Structure 1
Amino acid sequence: MNWRALLALVLAVCTTPALALDLKGHLEPGGFAVGQVEPGATVLLGDDPVMVGADGTFVIGFGRDQGSDVQLTVIHADGKPEQQVIAIAPRAYEIQRIDKLDQNMVTPDPATEARIKSDQAKVKAARATPSDRRDFLSQFIWPAKGPISGVYGSQRILNGTPKAPHFGTDIAAPEGSPIVAPAAGQVRFAETDLYLTGGTVIIDHGFGIYSSYLHMSRVDVKPGQMVLQGETIGAVGKTGRATGPHLHWGLNWNETRLDPALLVPPMP
């Protein structure tokens, strides 16, 4: 029986009182929150199951276009379900125009498109198995220092063509500037030549929280390597689809793209 059928069956035979659950984090598009239930409980965000740790810890994240609320369901170890509607704060986004790009970067030919899809499949596979690490609970630091040249959620218009929103924070640091791990974790992906993102690293911080680093000129880590907060993982570059040196810093909750800037204080 799949999760949707199980949920429908449980709710059909049980009452569903309001759930009084304390969530800590950012209840807004691009944010994530941490909650706690008793060990053995099942948690669903909407209709989708959420990873729950042995001690009852869980994480939920909210994408760029998340609506004004979302339903959280807890099915306790004794089978009793409870539900809570979580209000999500509204958020507005910028429009960003980028011109003078190689047109094949904007509208790739079939061979290039196939390569992009292959790259994306490898990146998705790197995030396919959430770990029970707890590094995401620490205070993150900035992975590089420099002017902010791109923000999460902005609508991208490339060479006059509307494209997907920008899912991350761009830091316009000089080429060769060090990139450090903003929190401890395990490297899940490290390659030097993806078509769109060039030098790319992904770090697993636990419970589906992954940070990513794109356009790197140098990659200093390998998959499986453990890194500490502040440890150098590579250097800023302009590889892949980039108009100049910068670090694109991304954050995911599984496949939901989040805003890493919510995790750090303002740039000093």
Structure 2
Amino acid sequence: MIGPLFLLFLLALSAPAAALELSGGAIQGGLLYGQTVPGSQVRLEGRSVRVGPEGRFVLGFGRDAAPSATLTVRRPEGAEETVSLTVVQRDYEVQRIDGLPQTLVTPPEAVWDRIRRDAALVAEARAHDTQLPDFAAAFRQPVAGIVTGIYGSQRILNGQPRQPHYGIDIAAPEGTPVLSPAGGIVRLAEVDLYYTGGTIVLDHGHGVSSTFLHLAGLEVAVGDRVAQGDRIGTVGSTGRSTGAHLDWRINWFDERIDPQLVTDLAK
């Protein structure tokens, strides 16, 4: 169980005062938001991180992130600060799903080229690193409904262990409107991916993206700019799905982020 201390965690460092502020969560599946002196260079574990013109940046920690990480900030005048981050570790549930068509649990060899193509399209859509500021918005849940699948749970499909679940499942009637949780640009809009059916990837900036799976209808196209609350599609049960729901995922580049942590920060 994640306590409010981690969800509302705020760390301020004062050497010098206001040179670096971090808010959010250094936790597996969390986003950590930063503010530093404009023009600074930021690195996480040696990886360069985009800094906006106002000094804002964001870091993401995946499901299995290590217990510690090193953040380095080099300010324009040359002063450098190194911060050791303690990344909160989480326990994950096991979720069993039975009754799936066996070809979707273990796909036939004939469809593997299609699966690899689909994966490459999604990876390319999530790789965008833009100056869009929408990553810093208070994210809203894209559809009202009951959360039936949670982030990080180990999936057992028809009795066979498979990848963990990297999003949250929200049950809602087919045709329910799906709204953009934050503004952004549509980077992918595909009506029929093998696993995920109707799929949209929305770029919020600085490597943060949302992915919407199993959609019945898509109401945006690649390149569209959407605002928070805009209608982008409808709930469906396409791809590998046993009922109408939205599978909503958030990424920081290739790191999988927990949407519930991100929306909890907005409350």
When normalised by structure 1's length, the TM-score is 0.88
CA displacement, residues 176-196 of structure 1 (integer Å, 9 cap, x when unaligned): 111111111111111100000
Alignment partner, residue 103 of structure 1: 102
Alignment partner, residue 10 of structure 2: none
The aligned runs of 1:154-233 (5 Å cut-off) are 154-233=153-232
Alignment partner, residue 250 of structure 1: 249
Alignment partner, residue 72 of structure 1: 71
How far the C-alpha of 1:127 sits from its partner, in A, is 2.0
Other structure's SS at 1:202 match:
strand
Alignment partner, residue 23 of structure 2: 24
Q: Matches of 1:122 and 1:231 in 2, distance apart?
A: 24
Q: Matches of 1:204 and 1:215 in 2, distance apart?
A: 18
Other structure's SS at 2:201 match:
strand
Alignment partner, residue 4 of structure 1: none
Q: Which 10-residue stretch deviates more, 137-146 or 116-125? A: 137-146
Q: Which 10-residue stretch deviates more, 29-38 or 210-219? A: 29-38
Alignment partner, residue 10 of structure 1: none
Q: Matches of 1:76 and 1:249 in 2, distance apart?
A: 36
Q: Matches of 2:153 and 2:103 in 1, distance apart?
A: 22
Q: Matches of 2:175 and 2:65 in 1, distance apart?
A: 36
Other structure's SS at 2:20 match:
coil
Alignment partner, residue 240 of structure 1: 239
How far the C-alpha of 1:97 sits from its partner, in A, is 0.5
Q: Matches of 1:69 and 1:22 in 2, distance apart?
A: 18
Task: Give the residue type in structure 2 aligned to 1:160.
Answer: G
Alignment partner, residue 48 of structure 1: 47
CA displacement, residues 204-262 of structure 1 (integer Å, 9 cap, x when unaligned): 11111101100000001101111121111111001000111110000000111101111
Identical positions, percent: 49
Alignment partner, residue 122 of structure 2: 123
How far the C-alpha of 1:53 sits from its partner, in A, is 1.8
How far the C-alpha of 1:148 sits from its partner, in A, is 0.8
Task: Give the residue type in structure 1 aligned to 2:103.
Answer: N
Q: Matches of 1:211 and 1:139 in 2, distance apart?
A: 13
How far the C-alpha of 1:110 sits from its partner, in A, is 2.1
Q: Unaligned stretches of 5+ in structure 1?
A: 1-17
CA displacement, residues 129-159 of structure 1 (integer Å, 9 cap, x when unaligned): 2111111222111111111110000000111
What number of residue pairs does the alignment pair up?
250
Alignment partner, residue 38 of structure 1: 37
Alignment partner, residue 11 of structure 1: none
Task: Give the residue type in structure 1 aligned to 2:145.
Answer: G
When normalised by structure 2's length, the TM-score is 0.89
Verify the 8 A CA contact 2:235 2:246 in the aligned structure 1. yes
Task: Give the residue type in structure 2 aligned to 1:157.
Answer: I
Point out the structure with the larger strand share: 2
Other structure's SS at 1:240 match:
coil
Q: Matches of 1:59 and 1:228 in 2, distance apart?
A: 20
Verify the 8 A CA contact 2:21 2:36 in the aligned structure 1. no
Q: Matches of 1:39 and 1:139 in 2, distance apart?
A: 22
How far the C-alpha of 1:102 sits from its partner, in A, is 1.2
Whose Rg is larger?
Answer: 1
